[in-house]
Structure 1
Amino acid sequence: MIRTSFNDGWQVRPKVNPFSELSGQAVPFIPVTLPHDAMIGQPRTAPGGDVTLDRAAGAYFPGGVFEYRKVFAVPEEYRGKRVFLEFEGVHRDATVYINGDYAGQRPYGYSHFHIDADRFLRFGQDNEIRVEARAHRDSRWYTGAGIYRDTWLLVGEAVRIVPDGLRVTTPDIDGSRAVVEVVTLVANDSIEVRTFPVVTEIRDASGGVVASDVSRVTVLPGEPATVRQRLYVPSPGLWSPETPTLYSCRVVLGDVDEETVSFGIRSLQLDPEHGLRINGETVKLRGSCVHHDNGVLGAATYGRAEERRVRILKEAGFNAIRSSHQPMSKPMLDACDRLGMLVVDETFDVWTIGKSEFDYSLSFPEWWERDVEAMVAKDVNHPSVIMYSIGNEIPETGSPFGAVWGRRLAEKVRSLDPTRYVTNAVNGMLAVMSELAVLQQQWLEQAAKDGVGINTLMAEADDAMNTVSSSELVTERTAESFAVLDVAGMNYAEGRYALDRDLFPNRIILGTETFPTHIDGNWELVKQYGHVIGDFTWTGWDYLGEVGIGRPQYRTEGDGPLQPHNAPYPYLVADCGDIDITGYRRPASYYREIVLGLRAEPYIAVRRPEHHGRIWAGSPWAWSHTVSSWTWPGYDGKPITVEVYSDAHEVELIGNGTSLGRRPVGPKHRFRTEFDIVHTPGELVAVAYRDGVETSRTSLRSADGPVRLTAKAEREVVGATGGDLAYVTLNLTDGQGTRHTAADRPVRVEVSGAAELIGFGSAAPSTEERFDAAERHTYEGRALAVLRPTGVGKISLIASAPGCDPVAVVVTAE
C-alpha cells in the first residue's frame, strides 16, 4: 500500500459538551502538527494539602479529554481502493470519527492500530476526521495525552499486502549462508479469484541484491493467503550491538502492491550455563529501563528524539533498553536497529488488577490479545528485539489465576513469534502483598531471637524488597508464574540470584529492574553466574512524573518519619536517571561506566556543600547529591566532600598542585572513595594508581571571570521532513569554556526561519516553568532548546541572558 504521512493539518482543543457549545460556550481549535502532546502545555497545579499519589504520578499535570480534527481531500481516484488510517499511538481511549460517523477505537494508549476508512469517505471532496483522547489518573507516570505518535494514510488496491503483513526471520545461520524466511500475507477484498507473481529481493546495506525468489499466489475473495519463501544469503553479515548490519527485503505483488522492510541476520540462544548468546557469543545485558516521554517535548514521539536517546544511552555504556512499561515506539526500534541496541519490549503495567483508578485493567480482558498482536507485528522484523515482556510488577503473579493469565499471554506471544524469548518483570513483594502480615510476624519473631527490632531489620526499602522476594512464600507463590517464561524477570530481587541456582537449576534470570545504587554488587552477580543474563537499572534516562522518587533527602536526629515516596508540587521529574531529561549524563552514569569496565579514567563528583554534615536519607533510587563541578561561590574555606569513582587500586586527590591524600578504591571499596576537604577555587585533580603506578587522571577547574552564554547545535544540518529536529544546548561558562554551575539565570530564545520552537527547558527537578515558553532558567548552567523544521531553509536561534552578550546559532534544514 502507498504510505503517506498524515501528520499535517490537524487542530486540537479540549473536548466540549455539544450542548454547551450550542449555548455559545465554544472552545476554539488551535492548529498543530503531529506528533503532539496535548497535556504538556496544560497548566500544572498543586493538589492542596498532602501529596496525592495520582497527581504526583502525572507530575501534577491535569487530566483531560482532547479532540483533534483534520479536514483532508479524498480524490475521486481513491474510489474502489482500500484506504486505511494508521495511528502509531494515541493516549488514551482513542475514538475515531470520520465525517461524523464512528469508525473505530483503541483503549490502550501504546498500541498502533488501523482504521478501515474507505467506507466512510466522500470521494472527490473534503472529508473530516475527528479523534478523541482521554487521559485521567490512568497510569503511574506522566503519559501525555492525544495523538502523540505518527499517523499515516495507507491507500491500496483490493488485492494487496496487508499492513504489517511482511515478516522476515532468520531461522538457520552458519558461517557460509543464512536461511531467510519471508512470510507475506495477501488480502483480497474483491469478488474475483486473483493470481499474481510474488517477486522477493534481499539487498545488503550497499543496495546490492544478495538473494531473490519468484513465486505465485492465488488469493480467494475474502480469504487471505500466506506466501512463504525461503531465501539463502551467502556469507551473511551478522547483526549485533557491535556490528548492527542491516539488510532490506522487498516483496512485489504483481503490478498491484509492494512492501519493503529492513531486518538483521542474527541468532539467539539461551541456557543456564552460557546465558544469552547472540551469534554464538555470550552477551551480558547492560540494561536501561526507559519511559516513553521525551523530556522537554513531553510524550511527543519524534524520530530524531528517539534516536538521540538511543545514541546517548549507548555512549553511556548501555547495550540494552527495556521499554517501561509499554510497547516501544517504531522510531525508537528503528534507531535501536541502526545503532546496535538490544531491546526488551514490554506489553503492560497492569492485567486484571488496577494500579490507578482508570487504568488499562478496565479494558485488559477484552483487548489484551489485540494489543499483544499489535506489539509483535510492530517488533517482528527488528533484530534489536530479543525478548518480549508480558508485564511489569503484576500483582496477580503470586496467585494460581495470575499464573493462568501469564501462560495465556506467554503462549499468545509464542504463537505470533516463536523466534524470541518471553519474560515478565515480577516484583516478589507485590506478588504476595496480601500475605505480608504473615511474613512480618515471622520477621518479628526472628528479630526478637536476634536481639534487634523490626525497624532495624527492615530499615531500607531495598532490604525489604530483597528480604520478601527471597522468602519461601515468594518462592512458592511465584513458581508457576516464572515457569511459564523463558526468562524469569525479577524486579529488586538480586537476593534470589544465587538462591535460585540451587532451587531452580533450569531458571534463567534477568534483573528487569534494579536500584541504581546497587549496580556494583549486581554486576558482580551478573558476571559470576551464567544463569543471570543482565541488569536493567531504574532508570537510565530520567522521566516526567512519579516525581521525586530519587530526590535527595536529608534528616537530623529526632526527625519523624521520612517524607512521602513522591515529592510535593512543583516537583516535575522522578530524579532517578543516570541521564537527565535533557540528555546530560549525571555522576551515576560515569560510576556505572566504571563498574561495567568501560571507563579507565577516574571521575570526580562533588557533594553540594550547603548540605555538608547532614544525614543522608535518600531512597535507594537516589544517587548522592553531587555535581561534577569545582565552582562553589560563597563556600571558599568551608568543608566540602569530594567523591572519586575508579576501578584502580588507589586514587590521589590534588588541589592546586598540593596532594590532599591518597585512598584505596576499586571493587573492594565499591569503586568509590571520599575526601573531606576545604573548598579552595582552582584546579582539582584525581590520579588513579594500579600497583603504585599512575594509570590515568582527570580534573575539574573552577569557573572564573565573567559569565558567558554559549549556544551550540548538535548538528549544523537537519532534515526538513521525516521527524527530524534541531537540538541546541545553551551553557553558561567562563572565558575558557568551564561551565558556571552556580550562576543560573533566565535565558530567552528567539527562533526565526524554517523552524519553530517546540520545547525549551532544563533538567531542574522542581520548577513551575513551562516547556512551551520562550524563556527558561538554566539548571547547573545548562538549558536545552528543541526546534522542529517547517520547511527547507536556514534556521536561526538567538539566545540572551542577563549580564551576557547574546549568541546566535544557524542550522540548515534540507
Structure 2
Amino acid sequence: MIRASFNSDWQWRRKVNPFAELSGETAVYQPVRLPHDAMLAQGRAAPSGQVTMSGGAGAYFSGGTWEYHKTFFVPEDHRGKRIVIEFEGVYRDATVHINGAYAGQRPFGYSHFRIDADPFLRFGEDNEIRVEARSHQDSRWYTGAGIYRDTWMLIGDLVRVRPYGVRVTTPDIDQERAVVEVETTIENDSIAMRTLDVVTEVRDTAGTVVAVDASRITVLPNEPATVRQRLYVSDPSLWSPQSPALYAAEVALTDESGEVDTESADFGIRSLRLDPQHGLRLNGETVKLRGACIHHDNGILGAATFARAEERRVRILRDAGFNALRMSHHPMSRAMLDACDRLGMLVVDEAFDVWTSGKNEFDYSLNFPEWWERDIEAMVTKDFNHPSVILYSIGNEIPEVGSPAGAAWGRKLADKVRALDDTRFVTNAVNGMLTVLSDLIAMRNRTQEAVQEDTGINTFMSDTADMMDRISSSELVTQRTAEAFAALDVAGMNYAEGRYTLDKGLFPNRIILGTETFPTRIDGNWKLVKQHGHVIGDFTWAGWDYLGEVGVGRPQYLTADNPRPTHTAPYPYLVAGCGDIDITGHRRPASYYREIVFGLRARPYIAVRKPQHHGKVFAGGPWTWSDSISSWTWPGFDEAPITVEVYSDAEEVELLVNGRSLGRRPVGEDHHFRTEFETAYEPGEIVAIAYLGGVETGRHTLRSADGPLQLRASVEHPTVTADGDDLAYVELTLAAPDGTCHPAADRTVSLDISGTGVLAGFGSADPSTEARFDSVAGSTYEGRALVILRPTAPGRIRLVATAADCEPVEVLIPVE
C-alpha cells in the first residue's frame, strides 16, 4: 500500500459538551501539525481538590478530553480502493469518527491501530475525520494526551500486501551464508481468485541486491494467504551494537497486467541464544545488558514523538555507555525502534503497567480483559522486523503476579507473545515486594500498636532499597513468584539483586535480568552481573529524566520544618529527578560514574557538591544522587567548606586545588569507584589525577568561569529537512570567554524566531519551575537551556537569543 503522512492540516481544541456549546460555551479550534501533545499545552497548576488534576504523578498537568478535526479530499479515482488511516499512538481512550460516523476506537494509549476508512468516505469530495482523546487519573507518570505520534494514510488496491505483512527471520547463520526467511501476507478483497507472482529482493546497506527469490501464489477472495520464501545471503554482515548492519527485503506483487503492489521491510541478520552458563549470546558472543529504563516523553516536547527527538535520545544514551533500553512501561515508538536499529541499541519492549488490578482510578485495567490480545498483537507486529528488539516484557510490577490467577494471566500473555513471535525471549518485570504487599500491610496493621514510632516495622521500612531487596529475597516471595517466573524465558526482577546469588542454587535453570534497579547501587549490581552467567544485565531507573513522578530522585535535607523525606515533591516540581541524563540531554555526574563502573571510561571524573548544603543532613532516597555538578564556579562561597567527589576505576586519585595537592586517596572497585575530598572553595582550577601502580592513567580538570559573561549557541545539525517532521536542536549556554559554563549566572533568555521555522519547545532542566515550554522567554538552569525548532518550508530558520548583560547570539539553520 502507498503510505503518506497524514500529520498536516489538523485542528484541535479541548472538548466542549455539545449542550454547553449550545448555551454559548465554546472552545475555538486551533491549527496544529501532528505529532502534538494536548496536555502540555494546557499548562500546570497546584492541586486544589479538582479531580481532573494529575497530581505529582502527572507533573501537575490537568487531564481532560480533546478533539482533533481534519478535512481531507479523496479523489473519485480512489473509489474501489482500500483506504486506511493509521495512528501510531493516541493518548488515551481514543474514538474516531469519519463524516460523522463511528469508525473505531482504541482504549490503550500506546498501541498502533488502523481505521478502515473507505466504508465512510465520500469520493470526489471533502471528508471530515474527528478524533477524541481522554486522559484522567489513569497513569503513574506524565502521559501527555492527544494524537502524540505520527498518523498515516494508506492507499491500496483490493489485492495488496497487508500492512506490516512482510515478516523476516534469520533462523540459520554461519560465516559463509545466512538463511533469510521472508513471509508475506497478501489480502484479496475482490470477488475473484487471483494468482500473483511474488518477487523478493534482499538488499544490503549500499542498496546492492544480495539475494532474490520468485514465487507464485493464488489468493482466494477474502482469504488472506501467506507466501514463504527462503533466501540465502552470502558472507552476511551481522547486526550487533558494535556493527548495526541493516538489510532490506523488498517485495513486489505482479500479475499479467503488471505490478500490483510493493512493500519493504528493514531487518538485521543476527542470532540470539540463552542459557544459565553463558547468559545472553548475540551472534554467539555473550553480551551483558548495560541497560537504561526510559519513559516515552521527550522532555520539553512533552509526549510528542518525533523521529529526530527519538534518535537524539538513543544516540546520547549510547554515547553515555548504555547498550540496551527498556521502554517503561508500554510499547516503544516505531521511530525509536528505527533509531535503535540504526545506532545499535538493544531493546526490551514492554507491553503493560497494569493487567486486571488497577493502580489508578481510571487506568487501562478497566480495558485490559477485553483488549489485551489486540494490544499484544499490535506491539509484536510493530517490533517483529526490528533486530534491536531482543526481549518482550509482558508487564511491570503487576500486583496480581504473586497469586495463582495472576500467574495464569502471565502464562496466557507469554504464550500469546510466543505464538506471534518465537524468535525472541519473554520476560516480566516483577517487583517481589508488590507480590506480597497485602501480607505486609496486614503485618503492619497487626504491629501498629505494638511498636514505637521509630522502631519495629517502621524502622524496617525506612530504608527503601534494603527493605525491597530483603523482602524480595524472602521465602514468601520465593514461593509466590515461582509459577510466574516459570512461565518466562527470563525472570525480570525489579529491585531484587539479593535473589541473583540465591536463585542460582534454588533455581539452577533460571535466567535473571535486573529489569529495574536503583542508580545508587550500580557498582554492586554490576559486579553481580559480571560474576554470574545467569544474570544477563542491569537496567537502571532511570537512564533519562522524565516528566512526572515528581521529585522521587531529588536531593533532600532534614530540617526542623522537614524532619523526614517525602516521596513526592510539591508543586511546581516538574520532573522525577532520577535520570542519569536530564530532560534536555545533558549528562549528570551519575552518568559518568556509571560509565566508569561499566569499564568504559579510564579518566577520572570530578563532581562538586553545592556548598550551600554543606553540613546539612542528606536524606535522599535510593533513586537520589548527590546534588553535585561538574563545576568549580561558586561565587559568594569563597573560603566556604566544600566537598569534591572524584570517580575513578584506578587505585588512587590525587586532587590539586590551584596546584596545591590535597593528597592521594584510594578509589576503584574496592572503594565503590569513588572518593571525597573536603576543602575550602577558592576560584581557579582543580585537577583530579588517577594512578594505577603509581603511574598516572588520566586526569580531569575543572576551571572557574572568569571574565565577561557570554551567551553561546550550539546547533546540533548543520541542516534540517523541510518535511515538517524534522527538528533543529540549539543548545544555549552562559559561559566565560574560554567556554567554561557558568552555572551560577542564570537569567532569562528571550527568543526571536523568523524564517521557515517555528518554536517546538524551549526550556531547561530546572526540576521545579512554572515556566512553559511553548514560550519564547525562559530561564537557563545551571547555565544551560535548550531550544527546539520545527521547520515549516525550505529556506532557513533565524534564531536570535538575548539575555541581560550578554551580547545577543544569532544562528541561521538551512532548511532543505
What range describes the TM-score normalised by the shorter chain of this pair?
A: over 0.9
Give CA deviations for 1:157-176 in whole Å, capped at 9, x if unaligned: 00111111110011111111
Unaligned 5+ runs, structure 2: none
Question: Contact 2:54–2:62 (CA<8 Å) still a contact in 1?
Answer: no
Where 1:772 maps in the other structure, the secondary structure is: coil
Given candidates 742, 745, 748, the residue that maps to 2:750 is 748
Where 1:511 maps in the other structure, the secondary structure is: strand
Alpha-carbon separation, structure 2, partners of 1:497 and 1:234: 41
Question: Contact 1:303–1:722 (CA<8 Å) still a contact in 2?
Answer: no
Shift of 1:443: 11
Aligned to 1:58: 58
Alpha-carbon separation, structure 2, partners of 1:790 and 1:689: 53
Q: Equivalent residues in 2 for 1:185-200 (5 A)?
A: 185-200=185-200
Give CA deviations for 1:566-585 in whole Å, capped at 9, x if unaligned: 10000000000000000000
Alpha-carbon separation, structure 2, partners of 1:347 and 1:317: 25
Question: Contact 1:447–1:453 (CA<8 Å) still a contact in 2?
Answer: yes
Aligned to 2:338: 334
Where 2:380 maps in the other structure, the secondary structure is: helix
Alpha-carbon separation, structure 2, partners of 1:120 and 1:181: 38
The amino acid across from 2:207 in the alignment is G
Give CA deviations for 1:722-774 in whole Å, capped at 9, x if unaligned: 62210000000011111010000000111111111110000000000000000
Where 1:41 maps in the other structure, the secondary structure is: helix
Alpha-carbon separation, structure 2, partners of 1:792 and 1:348: 41
Q: Equivalent residues in 2 for 1:493-508 (5 A)?
A: 493-508=496-511
Shift of 1:791: 1.1
Give yes or no for the alignment of 1:724 onto 2:726.
yes
Alpha-carbon separation, structure 2, partners of 1:440 and 1:486: 35
Aligned to 1:517: 520
Given candidates 471, 484, 487, the residue that maps to 2:487 is 484
Given candidates 258, 264, 282, the residue that maps to 1:278 is 282
Give CA deviations for 1:581-618 in whole Å, capped at 9, x if unaligned: 00000000000000000001100000000000011101
Alpha-carbon separation, structure 1, partners of 2:724 and 2:46: 38
Question: Contact 2:86–2:154 (CA<8 Å) still a contact in 1?
Answer: yes
Aligned to 1:325: 329
Question: Contact 1:352–1:365 (CA<8 Å) still a contact in 2?
Answer: yes
Where 1:478 maps in the other structure, the secondary structure is: helix
Q: 1:681 to 1:561 in 2, by over 3 A?
A: closer
Alpha-carbon separation, structure 2, partners of 1:142 and 1:172: 43
Where 1:266 maps in the other structure, the secondary structure is: coil
Q: 1:53 to 1:698 in 2, by over 3 A?
A: farther
Shift of 1:20: 1.8
Where 2:42 maps in the other structure, the secondary structure is: coil
The amino acid across from 1:497 in the alignment is Y
The amino acid across from 1:174 in the alignment is D
Tell me the number of residue pairs that the alignment of Structure 1 and Structure 2 aligns. 811
Q: Equivalent residues in 2 for 1:113-132 (5 A)?
A: 113-132=113-132
Aligned to 2:766: 764
Alpha-carbon separation, structure 1, partners of 2:28 and 2:445: 60
The amino acid across from 1:76 in the alignment is E
Aligned to 2:396: 392
Question: Contact 1:646–1:671 (CA<8 Å) still a contact in 2?
Answer: yes
Where 2:508 maps in the other structure, the secondary structure is: coil
Q: 1:756 to 1:130 in 2, by over 3 A?
A: same
Where 2:408 maps in the other structure, the secondary structure is: helix
TM-score between both structures, scaled by the size of structure 1: 0.98
Given candidates 663, 668, 673, the residue that maps to 1:661 is 663
Aligned to 2:264: 260
The amino acid across from 2:69 in the alignment is R
Shift of 1:452: 8.1
Given candidates 603, 622, 625, the residue that maps to 2:624 is 622
Shift of 1:549: 0.2
Alpha-carbon separation, structure 1, partners of 2:476 and 2:384: 37
Question: Contact 1:138–1:360 (CA<8 Å) still a contact in 2?
Answer: yes
Where 2:373 maps in the other structure, the secondary structure is: helix
Shift of 1:565: 1.1
TM-score between both structures, scaled by the size of structure 2: 0.97
Shift of 1:459: 3.2
Alpha-carbon separation, structure 1, partners of 2:36 and 2:764: 20
Shift of 1:718: 1.1
Shift of 1:440: 6.0
Given candidates 773, 787, 795, the residue that maps to 2:775 is 773
Alpha-carbon separation, structure 1, partners of 2:731 and 2:461: 44
Question: Contact 1:51–1:568 (CA<8 Å) still a contact in 2?
Answer: no
The amino acid across from 1:12 in the alignment is W
Shift of 1:712: 1.1
Aligned to 2:239: 239
Shift of 1:562: 2.2
Alpha-carbon separation, structure 1, partners of 2:88 and 2:50: 37
Give yes or no for the alignment of 1:350 onto 2:345.
no
Alpha-carbon separation, structure 2, partners of 1:197 and 1:185: 13
Aligned to 1:90: 90
RMSD of Structure 2 on Structure 1 (CA): 1.9
Give CA deviations for 1:217-244 in whole Å, capped at 9, x if unaligned: 1111111001111111111000000000
Question: Contact 2:53–2:62 (CA<8 Å) still a contact in 1?
Answer: no
Q: Equivalent residues in 2 for 1:451-462 (5 A)?
A: 453-462=456-465
Aligned to 1:673: 675
Alpha-carbon separation, structure 2, partners of 1:718 and 1:379: 28
Shift of 1:27: 1.3
Question: Contact 2:752–2:800 (CA<8 Å) still a contact in 1?
Answer: yes
Shift of 1:53: 10
Unaligned 5+ runs, structure 1: none
Question: Contact 1:687–1:694 (CA<8 Å) still a contact in 2?
Answer: yes
Q: 1:367 to 1:49 in 2, by over 3 A?
A: closer
Where 2:401 maps in the other structure, the secondary structure is: helix
Aligned to 1:535: 538
The amino acid across from 2:272 in the alignment is L
